[in-house]
Amino acid sequence: MGLGDDDFDFYRCYKCGRLITRYEEMKAFSVKAKKPGSICVCGSPKYSAANPRWYEFLLPRVIYFSCLRILRIA
C-alpha cells in the first residue's frame, strides 16, 4: 500500500469527526502498528474520504503530510 496519485489524502472518522491523513492510515495498517486496524485515536474503524476544514490545515500532522506531498516523498 503506497501513496499514489489516485488515493485520497484526507479522511474523516465517522464516530468523532477527526481528520485523518493518508500517512496515518498507512501507519495504522502497517505491520508495526500498535493497534492494527484502528485508524482513529477514538478506536473507530469506520472512516471516509473528506476535505479538511480551513482550520485543519494548521494542524501539525496535516502540515507534515502536505510537506511530504510537496517534496514528492509521499
The CA–CA distances, whole Å, from 17 to 11, 26, 29, 40, 57 equal: 9, 19, 20, 9, 15
Position 7, amino acid? D
* Residue (of 16, 18, 15, 40) closest to 29 by Cα position: 40
What is the reported pTM? 0.79
Q: Which three cell numbers stand for residue 20?
A: 485523518
- Residue-level pLDDT at 3: 55
Mean pLDDT by 10 residues, the chain (74 residues): 68 94 84 73 89 93 91 77
DSSP 65: H
